[in-house]
């Protein structure tokens, strides 16, 4: 199953959603979900962001991808950088929708203290989204 995620950073904060449904309900993740038949990957990123947070954004470059294989499931998730249009983080009114139970802006240095979905913290560090990771060339972030 092909899925997407939105990596939204603004003024030192990362936008996260608390999952309202399985898998990993009750844990924090990036806004995102399955790509629907007939839509492009970038359209799916923008749609999922709007459905889960009420925010509109512009899909940018690919940040990275992961595979999640579980009982009866196999997801390939492509995470893209997204810029939220025309807002400052302190003025953003995000509201949970679809399968998101909560929405929050979290300081980049505090993201690792959340109860994140499996593998997300390592992914965010490895790709330089939050501090403390290592790039594939071994350089510290």
Give me the residue label for tokens 């992961």: 66
State yes or no: is 102 an active-site residue: yes
Q: Is residue 129 part of a domain?
A: no
Q: Print the domain residue range for 31.
A: 2-113
Q: Is residue 103 part of a domain?
A: yes
Domain containing 58 — which CATH number? 3.90.79.10
Q: Is residue 119 part of a domain?
A: no
The closest of 16, 85, 74 to 46, measured between CA atoms, is 85
The active-site residue out of 24, 51, 102, 126 is 102
Q: Is residue 56 part of a domain?
A: yes
In contact, 135 and 129? CB cutoff 8 Å: no
In contact, 28 and 114? CB cutoff 8 Å: yes
For residues 119 and 98, give the distance between their C-alpha atoms in angstroms, rounded to a whole number: 23
- Residues sharing a CB contact under 8 Å with residue 114, sequence separation 6 or more, in sequence order: 16, 28, 106
Q: Look up residue 96 and give its two tokens.
A: 């949970």
Please tell me the total count of domains within the chain.
Answer: 1
Q: Is residue 52 part of a domain?
A: yes
pLDDT digits (tens, 9 = 90+) for 58-88: 999 999 999 999 888 899 999 999 998 765 5
pLDDT digits (tens, 9 = 90+) for 7-51: 999 889 999 999 888 888 899 999 999 999 999 999 999 999 999
């Amino acid at each position: 199953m092909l899925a997407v995620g939105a990596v939204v950073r603004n003024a030192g904060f990362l936008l996260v959603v608390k999952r309202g449904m399985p898998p990993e309900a009750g844990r924090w993740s990036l806004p995102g979900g399955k790509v629907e038949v007939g839509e492009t990957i970038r359209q799916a990123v923008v749609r999922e962001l709007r459905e889960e947070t009420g925010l509109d954004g512009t899909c940018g470059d690919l940040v990275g991808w992961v595979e999640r294989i579980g009982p009866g499931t196999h997801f390939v998730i492509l995470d893209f950088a997204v810029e939220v249009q025309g807002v400052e983080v302190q003025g953003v009114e995000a509201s949970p929708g679809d399968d998101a139970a909560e929405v929050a802006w979290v300081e980049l240095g505090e993201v690792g203290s959340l109860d994140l979905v499996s593998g997300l913290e390592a992914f965010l560090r490895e790709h330089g989204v939050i501090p403390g990771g290592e790039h594939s060339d071994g350089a510290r972030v």
